[in-house]
Amino acid sequence: MNRPRLLPWAGAQAQPCYLVGDGTGYLSRVADTIESVQLGMAGDLLDHAADLLADRKATAAQLHFLASRMAEALREVHRIAVSRGARIPSPAYGDLDDIDVPDDAESPVPED
């Protein structure tokens, strides 16, 4: 079943844009390319952030600009994650309560 794909750009009045298809068409390839560029730019921005934050002489204006760009990049990466997560097929198995856990397995939550 084809699931709608949240595209990496917004429509009129910043409304989300969706694409329905099999993921092999021209528009899907354009969206893939844009997502790849956005992820690459986010990675580059992280590298720049590490350098700027290590510089004790960075000004408030530089840090504000960095924070603004990082917020933009985080919005884009979040949108990509939401889009890709929505297209992951549901698991074939049922309720997680049906999974057998060995009695000696450690609990992720410590008991009091």
Contacts of 2 (CB under 8 A, 6+ apart): 20, 21, 22, 23
Do the beta carbons of residue 38 and residue 9 sit within 8 Å?
no
Residue 112: the pLDDT is 47
Q: Would you tell me the crossing angle of helices 26-54 and 60-86 to the nearest 10 degrees? A: 150
Q: What percent of the chain has pLDDT over 70?
A: 80
Q: pLDDT tens digit string along 48-93?
A: 999 999 999 999 999 999 999 999 999 999 999 999 988 887 776 6
Hey, where are the domains in the chain? Answer: 5-82
pTM: 0.74
| Mean pLDDT, rounded, of the chain | 87
